Amino acid sequence: MHDIEPFPNWRDHYIAAEDERSPFFGVEHDEFGYTHQVYNYYIHPQWDEFGSNTLYLKVLFTDYEEGFAILELIGEWNDCIDNDIMYLKREVMEPMMDEGIFKFILICENVLNFHGSDDEYYLEWQEEVCENEGWISLINAHPHVHEEMFDTRLHYCVNVGEEYNDINWRPMKPLTLFQVVQGLIQRYSGRLISD
């Protein structure tokens, strides 16, 4: 896991540590020392911590004019024991919403497991983004992660599902990915509401 680094190709467009409006403004990363771990496995030092013991992230891009952010996650998302959604919402999403970000793309291809609990924080987050014409989308989750999210009924709070799990996002520019995901949400939102 230590050689999986956050996607670097958009660094010419955006660096969260250099964005005064970012929750990660001023964060410095040791390029050589590995300090963060998911269980017994060290992870690349470019990942940012936000309070979870097993889940880390990187804000890859934020567009304040369009009001969206793209984040990449790595590790185990554990709401059952560690209440990771509470940390994610309070420490990352709420400061971003305070800055006018209400559309969130969370890239989940490096989320190895998901352990759900209740949906209270997801419902609260969904309500806040919907009040501001926003949305939340989790893309490229592994099948077992996607299934656990459905078992926890997260698909009522966030846009998640097979239609969001095969997006070849790496060759895209950030705005293109945003437009692709927004198009999927517009296409499938009726199905999500009627489930």
C-beta of residue 115 within 8 angstroms of C-beta of residue 79: yes
Rounded distance between C-alpha atoms, residue 155 and residue 138, angstroms: 10
Q: What is the mean pLDDT of residues 131-140?
A: 96
67-106 pLDDT, tens digit each: 999 999 999 999 999 899 999 999 999 999 999 999 999 9
Domain spans of the chain, in order of start: 16-189
Pair type for strands 68-78 and 55-63: antiparallel
What pLDDT band is residue 195 in, cutting at 50, 70 and 90? very low
What pLDDT band is residue 107 in, cutting at 50, 70 and 90? very high
Based on C-alpha coordinates, what's the Rg of the chain?
16
Q: What is the pLDDT of residue 193?
A: 37
If DSSP codes are grouped into helix, strand and coil, which group holds residue 150? helix
What pLDDT band is residue 175 in, cutting at 50, 70 and 90? very high
Mean pLDDT of the chain: 92
Q: What is the pLDDT of residue 39?
A: 82
Buried b (16+ CB within 10 A) or exposed e, 135-148: bbbbbbbbeebbeb
Rounded distance between C-alpha atoms, residue 64 and residue 49, angstroms: 23
Q: What is the pLDDT of residue 191?
A: 43
Residue 7: burial class (beta carbons within 10 Å; 0-12, 13-18, 19+): middle
Which of 33-42, 133-142, 176-185 is predicted with the least confidence, judged by mean pLDDT?
33-42
Q: What is the mean pLDDT of residues 165-185?
A: 96
Rama region for 51: left / alpha / beta (φ>0; ψ in -120 to 50; rest): left
CATH superfamily of 16-189: STAS domain (3.30.750.24)
What pLDDT band is residue 57 in, cutting at 50, 70 and 90? very high
